[in-house]
Amino acid sequence: MSPVPPDFEPKNESNKPVENKHSHHNHQPWFPVSLLETYSLDASLVKKQTVLKEDTQGAELKFVQKLTKIASLDINLLLSGETGTGKTCLAHLLHVNSQRAYQPFVEINCAAIPEMLLESELFGAAKGAHSSAFTAVQGKIAAAEGGTLFLDEVNLMSQEMQAKLLQFLNDGHYYPLGSSEVCKADIRLICAANSCLETATNDGTFREDLYHRISTYPVQLRPLRERKEDLIQIALASCQSAITKHKLPQMGMSSQSLLAISSYTWPGNLRELNNTILRACIEAAMDESTSIERHHLGIASLPPKRERRAKQLLTAENTTEDLKTATQTFQRAYIEKCLNENEWNVSHTARVLGLSRGHLHTLMNSLEIDRDVTTKIGEQSSTRKTQNSQESKAATEKRRRAEDGNIVEFRRNSN
């Protein structure tokens, strides 16, 4: 079930929208407090009416602003990203923020329906058109009339179905399976793919003309391994969501659990993260623990070298600060560490972090990361190490001389 704006008013008995102040022409876009919640919370839980929040910064702020604008445009959208990156949730939110928000949101997973039944599911079927059509079957296109049709995993659609979908998109007309009666529909189409459709068009597995039809505006969702800068904040938001939804006792997350989360690659992306944290919340509640510990997560441990490096970036003191400060502290330490390892080559560091060069510069400015200051601190640390090393060498030399003196004295006494 799709979320609805907080002031949504249901239809009356005649199935006509109840007159309200938000007409088709003055519907105001709204998004969750933070884009992080867009990716971490279930769409059905989102009930906040605010476009942006003051502490939303950098690339996240620009992305929210972009989504707010394109959501209100009646154009076809293509959401691309790996499995579990939040494409379905984002499709719901784009519908709620569109001019069609008061109309149906209908979803089809192209991978979940057998190819021979997909045409009937999409376009409908006349009575007797196939073995299970005992009566006329309404298709999802007709069900989405006036609203949004979301086609998930459209990259798995057969060539034959691609041709029929293209024909519908060209003029809005289609024929139900086994019927000669032409039908017309007015819908907005949002498609999602977990692989690169451009590559598929080059390989010939996806029609190029259909690709251009459905990708009026493409939106790329990054996997979690490329979102290190806000991974901890997403995890904390997911934890609070699980506690609220399942009425679990209030609990926090220990520094060791955050260490494990920030160091893991999350191949299942947000779906894996949300399920892992939900399971951890349940385990912690059964242990009557006031915080989620590392063993509650049950994720694979890191190699010793990577774990030592991660511990330098996340300290126990972080959890005593408020969420915003703790996140900034972690980001600053992590980015400075990567910059030092890459000799402050911003372009190379951005590639290592999975960010654009401009995004990294924005983060450096917002976190007040300055090379001169960091270098000065490093030089002071290096000076201390040199002094300690010199003192250690002096002590070793003194000890060696004392041992040599003892040996000489022993030989004299022996003679």
For 188, the 3-state DSSP assignment is strand
pLDDT tens, the chain, 415 aa long: 334 444 444 344 344 443 433 334 444 444 443 444 444 333 333 333 333 333 344 566 677 778 888 888 999 999 999 888 889 988 998 998 888 999 999 999 998 888 878 888 899 888 776 666 677 778 899 999 999 999 999 998 999 999 999 999 999 999 888 888 899 999 999 999 988 888 888 888 899 999 999 999 999 888 888 887 778 888 888 899 899 999 999 999 988 888 889 888 888 898 899 999 999 999 999 999 999 998 999 886 544 444 454 555 454 444 555 666 777 778 888 888 888 888 888 888 887 787 777 778 878 887 878 766 554 444 455 555 556 666 666 667 766 666 666 555 555 655 5
Contact 193, 77 (CB under 8 A): no
CA distance 176 to 137: 9
Phi/psi at 158 (5° precision):
-70, 160
CA distance 49 to 315: 35
pLDDT value at residue 391: 64
Binning the chain into helix, strand and coil, the percentages to the nearest 5 are 55, 10, 35
Domain boundaries, given as residue ranges, for the chain: 35-126+137-221, 225-369
Kind and range of the H or E run holding 332: helix 323-341
Q: Write down the CATH number for the domain with range 35-126+137-221.
A: 3.40.50.300
From the CB of residue 58, how many other CB atoms can be counted at a distance below 10 Å? 19
pLDDT value at residue 412: 61
pLDDT value at residue 337: 83
Give residue for tokens 């509650």.
296
CA distance 217 to 77: 5
Which class in CATH covers the domain with range 225-369? mainly alpha
pLDDT value at residue 351: 77
Phi/psi at 190 (5° precision):
-120, 125
CA distance 239 to 253: 8
Q: What is the DSSP letter of 98?
A: S
Phi/psi at 212 (5° precision):
-70, -30
Kind and range of the H or E run holding 217: strand 217-220
pLDDT value at residue 409: 58
Kind and range of the H or E run holding 134: none
